[in-house]
Structure 1
Amino acid sequence: MGIQDIIEGKRQWRAHVARVRALPPDYRIVYAEMQRYLFKVGPVGLADGPLLPGIVDFFEEGVAAGRGVLELTGTDVAAFTDGLIADLPTYADAVQDSLGGKAG
């Protein structure tokens, strides 16, 4: 990874954060909780992948349609978030696979 890649990554992250900050307060709160959960669970490639920008896209569409954030996610935000990553490999999966490989 070169310096240009790092600079571009930071530029993209700043643009992403600016989009999140432009959301209404209730959307920002739900996004922050989802992001915190996702960083803890750790889908592989979260920072570079399309998941977080996709959530912001989805939320921006909800704002444009005049819908509340819980109308989009439902009241169980954790279940909604789990549904988003159900088919994605997580770091926990990678560790489990590596332990299974060493034990077998």
Structure 2
Amino acid sequence: MGIQDIIEGKRQWRAHMARVKALPPDYRIVYHEMQRYLFKVGPIGLTEGPLLPGIVDFFEEGVAAGRGVLELTGTDVAAFTDGLIDGSPTHADALQRTLGGRPAT
């Protein structure tokens, strides 16, 4: 990874976060909780993939439709987030393999 790749990645991340900041407060709160959770247990390559921008797209569509964030995600935001990464290899799975264990199912 060269310096240009790092600069481009930062530019994309800043643009992504600007979109998040433009969301209404309730959407931002839910997004940040989902992001925090995904950074802990989320799929490998999370920041390079389409998952986080896809969540923002989904939330922007909800705002445009005049729906509340919990109408989109349901009241169990953790279960909604788990559903987004279901079947994806996660950092927790990789750690389990490193330690010689099997990933929990």
Q: TM-score, normalised by structure 2?
A: 0.92
Hey, which of these two has a bigger chunk of helix by percent? 1
Question: How much is the aligned-residue C-alpha RMSD, in angstroms?
Answer: 1.1
Query: In the alignment, is residue 44 of structure 1 matched against residue 48 of structure 2?
Result: no
Q: Which amino acid aligns with 1:47?
A: T
CA deviations 1:31-70 (Å, max 9, x no partner) are: 0000000011131001111100000000000000000000
Mapping 1:12-31, distance limit 5 Å: 12-31=12-31
Aligned to 1:64: 64
Structure 2: which 5+ runs fail to align? none
Equivalences, count: 101
CA distance in 1, matches of 2:39, 2:14: 17
Q: TM-score, normalised by structure 1?
A: 0.93
Q: CA deviation at 1:94?
A: 1.3
Which 10-residue stretch deviates more, 84-93 or 7-16? 84-93
Identity %: 87
